[in-house]
Structure 1
Amino acid sequence: MTIAIAKTTKNAKPRVTFADYLTYSDGSDTKYELVDGELIAMSLGTGLHGETIDRVYKEINVEISRTAQPWIVRQGQIGVRCPRGIGLDTVRIPDVVVMEGNDWQALQEREAVIDFDLSAPLLVIEVISPSIKNIDYRAKRTEYAARDIPEYWIVDPLEAKVSVLINSDGWYDVTEFYGDELIISPTFPELKLTPRTIFSI
Structure 2
Amino acid sequence: MIQAIPQLMTLEEFLDWYPDGYGRYELWNGVVLEMQPTGTHEQVGGTLAGELFVEIRRLQLPYLIPRQAIVKPVDTDKSGYNPDVIVLDLPALENEPLWKKRSTITKGESVRVVIEVVSTNWRDDYGHKFIDYEALGIPEYWVVDYLGLGGKRYIGTPKQPTFSIYQLIDGEYQVQQFRGGERIVSPAFPELNLTANQVFAMGI
Same fold per TM (> 0.5)? yes
User: TM-score normalised to the size of structure 2?
Assistant: 0.80
- 1:79, CA displacement in angstroms? 0.9
Q: CA 1:53/1:28 → structure 2, altered by over 3 Å: closer, same or farther?
A: closer
Stretches of structure 1 lacking an aligned partner (at least 5 in a row)? 1-12
- Mapped pair 1:16 → 2:9: yes
- 1:23, CA displacement in angstroms? 0.1
Question: Aligned ranges for residues 118-133 of structure 1 at < 5 Å?
Answer: 119-130=109-120, 132-133=121-122
- 1:41, CA displacement in angstroms? 2.1
Question: Aligned ranges for residues 26-37 of structure 1 at < 5 Å?
Answer: 29-37=22-30
C-alpha distance in 2, partners of 1:25/1:73? 20
- 1:195, CA displacement in angstroms? 0.9
Residue 61 of structure 2 aligns to a residue in which SS? coil
Q: Which runs of 4+ in 1 moved over 3 A?
A: 25-30, 102-109
C-alpha distance in 2, partners of 1:50/1:97? 14
2:57 aligns with 65
User: TM-score normalised to the size of structure 1?
Assistant: 0.81
Greater RCO (CA < 8 Å, at least 6 residues apart): 2
- 1:17, CA displacement in angstroms? 1.6
1:145 aligns with 134
Q: CA 1:119/1:89 → structure 2, altered by over 3 Å: closer, same or farther?
A: farther
Q: CA 1:81/1:182 → structure 2, altered by over 3 Å: closer, same or farther?
A: same
- Mapped pair 1:162 → 2:163: yes
Q: Deviations over 1:77-114 (max 9, x none)?
A: 11111125xx3432111000101123557777411111
CA RMSD of aligned residues (A): 2.4
Q: Deviations over 1:124-145 (max 9, x none)?
A: 0010112x11111111000100
